Chain A
Amino acid sequence: MDNFYSISLILRIVIPAMYLIASIGYVKQFIKLSDKLSLWVKPVLYSGIFLHLILFILLFNKRGIIPLFTVFEGLFLCSLILSALYILMENIVNETCYGAFIQPVNFLISSIASFYLFEGLPLPDSMASLYFIFHAMFLAAAYACFFLSCIIAIMYLLQHNEIKGRHLGYLFKRLPALENMDISIARIDALGLALFFIGIIIGFLWLDIATDSVYRMNLKIGFSVLTAAVYLIEHLLRVTKGWKGQRAAMISISGFIFIIINLLIGRHGY
């Protein structure tokens, strides 16, 4: 048991540290407007992700079930998925400047999650079930998508401001193209929305089993439904009315505010 806590303590320090070091590399490239990322940055990031996965597996091994019983464990998984999503995105769009914004946020999330990983009251056994596990997993993945799209949406608005305001200076030269960011936001939000809906549906199934009633509304469920509605509206307006660009970015950021509130609410009050 001691071994586990010692190893997990080391990993809980090393993982955010590696994300921090990778962030520094990305930010340095962004500031210097270099064509290429320093050679050491990606290996550090990949190593951080690998160790993150290792710790997750160790937790799983210890518990005998996927560790998603506290908000911080959920955040821990969310951070891991965010890292993986970022790597996928970077390889698809072939643009490393996103890292200067996304990696520092990821470092923050992983730090909070790692610090409080063993804090918080776990769910009572009566509530724990596979349905809950899948519900939490899908939501963690959806939140990771929304984190990512929110950051890109902020970058979009910054670049949009630069171009509309005719400030073709520091940020203009460093931020990606508007259309590329808009496409990324649309795709990531669509993925997040799909995962979110699946997570909510599974959540209602879990609710039915755990509380004998699917209709037990609470603040968290209310905000989740609101969040889903916001992203669904964004998607529909984008497809039907052509709400691209600045408007879509602002809706994406608003949806994310609901997610933050949702996280702050904590657990369902059952």
Chain B
Amino acid sequence: MDTRGKNTNKHVVVLGINHTSSSMELRDRIIFSGNSKEIALEKLVQWDGILESVIISTCNRMEIYAVVSEVSKARDILLNFIADFHNISRAEFESNIYFYSCQKAIKHLYYVVSSLDSMVIGEYQILGQVKNSYRMAMQMGNTKTILNKLFHLAIEAGKRVRTETHIGKGAVSVSSVAVELASKILGKLEHKSAVIVGAGEMSKLTAKHLVSAGIKKLYFSNRTKERAMEMASYFDGIPIGLGRLEEIMEYCDIVLTSTGAPHYIIEKKKMELVMKKRKNRAIFLIDIAAPRDINPEVTKLENVFLYSIDDLTLAIKDNTSMRKAEIEKVRRLLSEEWENYFTWYESLKVLPTLISLRKKFEILCTEELERYSGEISKVPEPSRKLIQQFAASLTKKYLRIPSRVLKEMTIDIDPRILAESVTQLFELDKGKSE
């Protein structure tokens, strides 16, 4: 049986809720947002049995990582804590909770930081969120040796996944694919402008992405003037009438349309005139309306790039497949990485024995120096100090190799057997030396 991750006194556990185990409404009731996370961390450490803790709370998950003295009681303790903190009964959320301990808990954290457990596989926001959560817990004194090492190594693993695999590459939402395309056609978007025709959810989302990508000038147009003004005010843009669309397209490099009009609002002839005025500068048209707003014939024009919702959806499919193809590579990388943690964790089990061994050797060293103190006192002061230093240094040197080898051996041999052997070999359980 693989008993790694199972220390006799300390166990890593995780209790949580995420987008697969619960609805958004339930998550909203038990997440820790803003100041409440700090308060929760402060309270959590006061609960009996919780030795260390970190709370990760995002819109898609709430997880409490803890080091506990007894695994059997940990689930109940954490459930009671959540119920108590949020003033909600356990029954309302208990069935949506997942609870892992020891190895499974550790591996779960690695899956989380690598985004394999995310709603959108490959999203890297989670790595930053985990980092911030850990940093907050550390600053509040909620973490000690075990969680410090675990989170440090897990975050490093998350970074490795990001740099060494393509799990996060390629946009997987309509608006992010549109922005990615815009960047590939027009280069940096900071000096570009865009016009959004239509005021639906998709228009809003794409506008958001464009603003994040650096677009400074946004124009908004809609059948209803008020909606256009509302959007413009929200994004600090400029509202324009639909009649001015052709005029504005002379200056805008990106045009997003989703009017839902029964006819084309941009025809090929109109586009030709626009391109003439634009002196043939490249323009990117995104038509997410159904039926389509832009005549597909415009794509035959030089430097006009038109993408419909179907084209964007196909691109998302390709990118999602690419990310899925990377999952196996990520799993292999993670299994390498969590071995580092397990190796360290196992070496902890021989730590008390190593401390006892060092103490024993220090006592021996002191005793021998006392035995020869008479002769040593005849030696001048600087030389006396040197002798003491020599004795201490020799003791340390003797112990260096056995300490290292002992820690390494915990990978293949049960640490309890090793500890027992060293204890017997050096009679660490006996009193003063004979």
Instruction: Tell me which residues across on chain A come within 8 A of B237, comparing CB atoms.
Output: none
Which residues A166-196 have CB closer than 8 A to chain B? 166, 168-169, 172-173, 175-180, 182-183
Are B280 and A243 interface neighbours, CB within 8 A?
yes
Which one, B84-92, B179-187, B206-214, B339-347, is touching chain A? Answer: B179-187
Say yes or no: B185 contacts A179, CB within 8 Å.
yes
Task: Determine whether the beta carbon of A177 is less than 8 Å from that of B187.
Answer: yes
Chain B positions within 8 Å of A244 at CB level: 279-282, 303
Interface size in chain A (residues, C-beta < 8 A): 26
Report whether B282 and A178 are in contact in the complex, using a CB–CB cutoff of 8 Å.
yes
A163 and B311 contact, Cβ closer than 8 Å, known pairs A178-B282, A244-B280, A244-B282 = no
CA distance A183 to B188 in the complex (A): 13
Q: How far is A115 from B216 in the complex, measured between Cα atoms in Å?
A: 54
A168, B314: Cα distance in complex, Å:
9
Give B413-431 interface residues, CB cut-off 8 Å to A: none
Known contacts: A168-B181, A242-B281. The answer to whether A177 contacts B186 by CB under 8 A is yes
- A245 at interface by CB-CB < 8 Å: yes
Q: Mark A23-37, 1 if CB is under 8 A from B, else 0.
A: 000000000011100
Contacts of A243 in B (CB 8 A): 280
**What per-residue 1/0 map shows which CB atoms of B274-291 lie under 8 Å from chain A?**
001011111000000000
- For residue B166, CB closer than 8 A to chain A, the reply is yes
Interface check B302, CB cutoff 8 A: yes
Residues of chain A within 8 A of B163, CB atoms compared: 34-35
Q: Could you tell me how many residues of chain B have their Cβ less than 8 Å away from some Cβ of chain A?
A: 28
* Distance A246 CA – B280 CA, assembled complex (angstroms): 11
Q: A180 to B192, alpha carbons, bound, how many Å? A: 13
A244 to B282, CA, bound (A): 8
A180 to B311, CA, bound (A): 24
Report yes or no: B305 in contact with A168, Cβ–Cβ below 8 A. no
B residues within 8 A CB of A172? 184
Does the CB pair B166–A245 fall under 8 Å?
A: no
A180 to B181, CA, bound (A): 14
The answer to the question of A252 belonging to the interface, with a C-beta cut-off of 8 Å to chain B, is no
CA distance A242 to B282 in the complex (A): 10
The interface residues of chain B lying within 8 Å CB-to-CB of A182 are 282
B184 — which chain A residues lie within 8 A by C-beta? 159, 163, 172, 175, 177-178
The answer on a CB contact under 8 Å between B302 and A247 is: yes
Are A169's CB and B302's CB within 8 A? no
Q: Which residues of A contact B183 (CB under 8 A)?
A: 177
> A residues 115-147 with Cβ under 8 Å of B?
none
Q: Which B328-347 residues have C-beta < 8 A from chain A?
A: none
Residues of A within 8 A of B170 (CB): 173
Q: Complex: how many Å from CA A245 to CA B188? A: 17
Chain A's nearest CB lies how many Å from the CB of B14? 31
Identity of the chain B residue whose Cβ is nearest the Cβ of A247 in the assembled complex: B302
Flag whether B81 is at the interface (Cβ < 8 A).
no
Contacts of A242 in B (CB 8 A): 276, 278-281
Contacts of B169 in A (CB 8 A): 33, 173
Chain B, residues 168-206, CB within 8 Å of chain A (1/0): the string is: 011000000100010111111000000000000000000
What are the nearest 10 A-B pairs in CB distance?
A242-B280, A242-B279, A177-B187, A179-B187, A180-B187, A168-B315, A245-B303, A179-B186, A178-B185, A166-B311
Q: Enumerate chain B interface residues (CB-CB to A < 8 A).
A: 163, 166, 169-170, 177, 181, 183-188, 276, 278-282, 299, 302-303, 305, 307, 311, 314-315, 318-319
List 7 A-B residue pairs with CB atoms under 8 Å apart, sorted by A's residue number: A172-B184, A178-B184, A178-B185, A179-B187, A245-B280, A245-B302, A246-B303
